[in-house]
Copies of this chain bind each other. A is one copy, B any other.
Amino acid sequence: MALDHAILVSLLEKPGSGYELARRFERSIGYFWTATHQQIYRVLKRMESDGWVDVRDVPQQGRPDKKEYSVAGPGRDALSAWLHAPIEPESVRHDLAVKIRGAAFDDPAALIGEVRRHRQAHTDRLEHYRAGEARDFPPSGADGPPDAERELQHAVLRGGIAYERMMIAWLDDVLATLARFEAGR
Contact = CB atoms under 8 A, between A and B. Distances in A.
Interface residues of A, number: 71
A2 interface: yes
Q: Specify how many copies of this chain sit in the oligomer.
A: 2
Among A2, A99, A103, chain B packs the most CB atoms within 10 A around the CB of: A99
Given A83-B110, A87-B96, A97-B33, A152 B103 contact: yes
Interface stretch (A15-23, A48-56, A61-69, A153-161): A153-161
Interface of A: 2, 5-6, 8-9, 12-13, 30-34, 76, 79-80, 82-84, 86-87, 89-106, 108, 110-111, 114, 117-118, 121-122, 145-146, 148-149, 151-156, 158-160, 162-163, 165-166, 169-170, 173-174, 177, 180-181, 184
